[in-house]
Chain A
Amino acid sequence: MDQDVQDRALPIANVGRIMKQILPPSAKISKEGKQLMQECVTEFISFVTGEASDKCHKENRKTVNGDDICWALSSLGFDNYAEAIGRYLHIYRQGEREKINHTKKYENPQNQTQINRAPPPPLLLSRVENPPPTNQSG
């Protein structure tokens, strides 16, 4: 049961790390404190997602997207989060457009020889778990 509950929450290590970053170095956090924060943030995701999903339903859309989440945050009183997330979303989408342009450039056979001549710039390698792309336009 406990393992099942843990699988449906965010990892306690990640949550604990974020908590520590905001507190003074001398502060300590009890294990129960981390566990409760784990539950709170999981509830936060469900709460906001429910609001965003309701909006999609009313507008006859099937895909919950970033704008819906920003709207839901604002609607539920998290206005400052919605502002910060809106900026974050904008930066993310810019990055996506740049990525697409970059990919197109490398798909061009004429530029393939360029790959051999100039090695690609080093990228930040991350072990963060990424879901497979499931973009659905609706």
Chain B
Amino acid sequence: MRQAGAYSGLLCGGVSGRTGPHSLPLARIKKIMKNSGEDVKMISGEAPIIFSKACELFIEELTRRSWIMAIQGKRRTLHKEDLASAVIATDIFDFLITLVSSSESHAVGGATNVMEVETIDCS
């Protein structure tokens, strides 16, 4: 009976048994969703799950584009300036320009990266 209870618990308690472990914590994603606006009232159970997948795709794409920037700078370490350059060079990441600009204002060589962007056509 304990065995059955444990089994049922796994089925009722979450989805990891079905869709495999998620690489990002769902509770944290849900919290961020809630904090995104006052009009976000209720969130279905599936929303954080598919968001974890969407976030993986986002991180992968931005990392890949940032790496191109690092390579062009003859470096093998990815720095935040590379992320900033990738954001500026990619249309769909426009919503992040304010974020990376405020971050880059404290970075050395920001202007150089901005100039480098002009030679790249990734969009």
Contacts and interface: CB of A to CB of B under 8 A. Distances in A.
Interface of A: 8-11, 14-15, 17-19, 21-23, 26-30, 32-33, 35-37, 39-50, 53-54, 57, 62-66, 68-70, 73, 76-78, 80-81, 84-85, 88-89, 91-93, 95-96, 98-99, 102-103, 106, 112, 115, 119-120, 123-124, 126-131, 133-136, 138
B25 A129 contact: yes
8 contacts: A40-B93, A46-B36, A46-B37, A50-B37, A57-B39, A70-B50, A95-B15, A128-B21
A53 B36 contact: yes
A45 B32 contact: yes
Contacts, number: 245
Given A46-B33, A64-B47, A89-B46, 8 more contacts: A32-B79, A36-B84, A54-B39, A57-B39, A63-B43, A88-B50, A88-B53, A128-B21
A81 B61 CA distance: 10
A127 B23 CA distance: 11
A129 B7 contact: no
Contacts of B114: none
B44 interface: yes
Interface residues of B, number: 75
A9 to B, nearest CB: 8
Nearest to B103: A36
B13 A62 contact: no
Interface in B58-116: 58-60, 62-64, 66-67, 70, 76-80, 82-84, 87, 91-93, 95-96, 99-100, 103
A41 to B, nearest CB: 5
Prevailing SS type, chain B contact patch? helix
Nearest to B107: A32
